């Protein structure tokens, strides 16, 4: 756990001083979170009108700042972003400004990695070395590493989901119910876009409690979550003057706060993201870390072998993936690749670790692809630190020869041509074949490769 945390922290840490764009060290929503954290630290509230007037963003956003807010009663300016991330960042901001905020996220990335190793070993019975290798490779590459230093709620949300998975991959105890309640409350306060994942975690926990005939605890959980939801809505009406934070945004005045998901969504068109979130040449996570492709055969094996409590892994991953596909306005916005799915990638990491523990040959494929992906992120971060490119504006112009060769066989949904649909079709077939191969290679009833060793190492029941 310590080694993996250190590797992940190093992978995230190299992005701390990387520039987001040429006119700003941080951009898009990042300055908004920082201004809210500054306001909490100095004023004890979320009103950033005085911070805007004093141009407090100049140390981390040299260009003119798009304010994002509309004036509210009394001249208040409330950033249209949920406040839990600024609350988490406030101590770091008080100590070291924007650098302290980024270091806080690096620390949270390290904690997430350590908890993933613990969950893989203790919950899924993965060998420690396999768990450490899997988490280190994926934690120190795209998209977990860049979001371990970019000021977005993605990494804290992933940590919350990791904690929930640690609970739900075992029999749920009373303390576990409290953890699920805390996670389900935290996710919407990090971002309303995480509400579907929170709802799924609450549903899975409630069903598990009812199945175990713990009706009282199930009822208490549901009642507590309803009360927490009512408080969430009441606070948003009072502070943001709407049901969500988007009510205070200047860019949703005409379309309303729910215009954030699009005024006329084309769901058939959005369906290409089902594969594109993985394989698109600029914003697909496999373009930058090919090892993520092994999640596909791992899912096939998971569906066939069905280890204890396995549905929660697939359901959590599906909830986040479908939300990024059909609810999010776009997957290719003014941010780094993978933003919309970071929250559920801990489930993918655990699925990969479980599968690699059972298939030794696949570990070599994972290691080769993983090293290439880690190198891809390191080179990109170095280029962004030295000023050759930036992490938001032109990251895809990296000089990395491996990435430039790899992207040639991936579909381009930013500039659609006939070749886009050709490569998209090819990858749909490839992904289907990989899933089928994972299913076929998984043999129900086969002994786990570490079963004998674990029988020897396990203490007798009396000792336990």
pLDDT at res. 464: 35
**How far apart are the two ends of the chain, measured CA to CA in Å?**
23
Task: Provide φ and ψ at 80, rounded to 5°.
Answer: -80, 55
CB distance 33 to 57 below 8 Å: no
pLDDT at res. 457: 42
pLDDT at res. 442: 83
Token pair 């509309």 in the structure block, residue: 70
Residues 6+ apart with CB under 8 A from 418: none
Assigned domain for 456 exists = no
What the block records as the tokens of 415 is 């500039």
CB distance 393 to 21 below 8 Å: yes
10: β partners? none
pLDDT at res. 461: 43
CB distance 242 to 248 below 8 Å: yes
Which helix (DSSP H) or strand (DSSP E) does residue 429 occupy? helix 418-441
Q: What gap in Å lies between CA 36 and CA 249, rounded to an integer? A: 14
Q: Is the dihedral of CA 119, 152, 150, 319 positive or negative?
A: positive
Query: What is the number of other CB atoms lying within 10 angstroms of the CB of residue 174?
Result: 8
Assigned domain for 28 exists = yes
What the block records as the tokens of 354 is 């479980």
21: β partners? 24
**What DSSP string runs through 7-47?**
HHHHHHHTTTT--SBTTBSS-TTHHHHHHHHHHHHHTSSSB
Assigned domain for 448 exists = no
Distances (CA, A) of 233 to 36, 182, 269, 345, 407: 20, 17, 32, 28, 44
Chain Cα centroid distance, residue 75: 35
Assigned domain for 462 exists = no
249: β partners? 69
Please, what is the Cα angle at 96 between 20 and 58, to 5 degrees? 50
Assigned domain for 46 exists = yes
Which helix (DSSP H) or strand (DSSP E) does residue 445 occupy? none
Distances (CA, A) of 440 to 305, 347, 443: 10, 22, 7
Q: Quote the number of domains for the chain.
A: 1
Query: What is the number of other CB atoms lying within 10 angstroms of the CB of residue 330?
Result: 13
* List of the chain residues with pLDDT < 70: 251-259, 262, 445-464
Task: Provide φ and ψ at 69, rounded to 5°.
Answer: -105, 155
Assigned domain for 207 exists = yes
CB distance 160 to 202 below 8 Å: no
Distances (CA, A) of 397 to 292, 381, 461: 22, 13, 58
Query: What is the number of other CB atoms lying within 10 angstroms of the CB of residue 400?
Result: 18
Query: Which domain covers residue 143, as residue numbers?
Result: 2-441
Distances (CA, A) of 377 to 66, 84, 221: 29, 28, 41
Token pair 């009642």 in the structure block, residue: 223
Assigned domain for 194 exists = yes
The residue among 108, 77, 74, 73 whose CA lies nearest residue 91 is 108
Assigned domain for 454 exists = no
pLDDT at res. 55: 87
Chain Cα centroid distance, residue 355: 21
Q: What gap in Å lies between CA 180 and CA 168, rounded to an integer? A: 9
Please, what is the Cα angle at 159 between 367 and 178, to 5 degrees? 135
Q: What gap in Å lies between CA 248 and CA 236, rounded to an integer? A: 10
């Amino acid at each position: 756990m310590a080694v993996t945390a250190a590797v992940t922290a190093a992978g995230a840490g190299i992005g701390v001083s990387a520039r987001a764009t040429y006119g700003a060290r941080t951009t898009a929503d990042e300055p908004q979170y920082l201004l809210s954290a500054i306001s909490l630290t100095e004023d004890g509230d979320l009103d950033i009108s005085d911070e805007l007037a004093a141009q407090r963003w100049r140390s981390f956003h040299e260009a003119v700042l798009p304010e994002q807010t509309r004036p509210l009663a009394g001249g208040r300016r409330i950033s249209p972003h949920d406040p839990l991330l600024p609350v988490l960042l406030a101590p770091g901001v008080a100590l070291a400004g924007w650098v302290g905020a980024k270091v806080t996220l690096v620390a949270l990335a390290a904690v997430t990695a350590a908890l993933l190793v613990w969950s893989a070993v203790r919950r899924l019975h993965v060998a420690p070395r396999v768990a450490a290798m899997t988490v280190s490779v994926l934690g120190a590459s795209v998209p977990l590493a860049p979001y371990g230093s970019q000021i977005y709620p993605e990494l804290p949300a992933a940590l919350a989901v990791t904690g929930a998975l640690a609970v739900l991959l075992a029999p749920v105890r009373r303390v576990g119910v409290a953890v699920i309640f805390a996670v389900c409350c935290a996710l919407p306060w990090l971002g309303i876009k995480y509400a579907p994942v929170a709802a799924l975690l609450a549903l899975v926990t409630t069903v598990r409690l009812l199945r175990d005939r713990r009706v009282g605890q199930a009822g208490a959980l549901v009642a507590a979550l309803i009360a927490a939801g009512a408080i969430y809505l009441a606070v948003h009406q009072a502070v943001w003057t709407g049901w969500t934070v988007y009510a205070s945004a200047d860019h949703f005045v005409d379309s309303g706060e729910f215009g954030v998901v699009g005024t006329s969504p084309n769901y058939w068109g959005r369906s290409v993201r089902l594969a594109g979130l993985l394989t698109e040449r600029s914003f697909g996570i496999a373009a930058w870390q090919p090892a993520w492709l092994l999640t596909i055969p791992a899912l096939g094996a998971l569906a066939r072998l069905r280890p204890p409590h396995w549905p929660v892994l697939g359901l959590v991953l599906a909830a986040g993936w479908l939300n990024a596909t059909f609810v999010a306005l776009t997957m290719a916005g003014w941010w780094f690749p993978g933003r919309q799915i970071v929250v559920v990638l801990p489930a993918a990491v655990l699925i990969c670790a479980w599968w690699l523990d059972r298939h030794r040959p696949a570990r070599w494929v994972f290691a080769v692809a993983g090293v290439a992906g880690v190198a891809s992120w390191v080179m990109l971060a170095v280029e962004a630190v030295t000023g050759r490119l930036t992490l938001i504006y032109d990251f895809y112009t990296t000089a990395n020869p491996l990435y430039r060769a790899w992207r040639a066989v991936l579909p381009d949904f930013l500039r659609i041509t006939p070749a886009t649909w050709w490569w998209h079709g090819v990858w749909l077939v490839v992904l289907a074949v990989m899933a089928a191969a994972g299913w076929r290679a998984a043999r129900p009833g086969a002994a786990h490769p570490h079963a004998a060793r674990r029988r020897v190492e396990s203490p007798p029941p009396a000792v336990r």
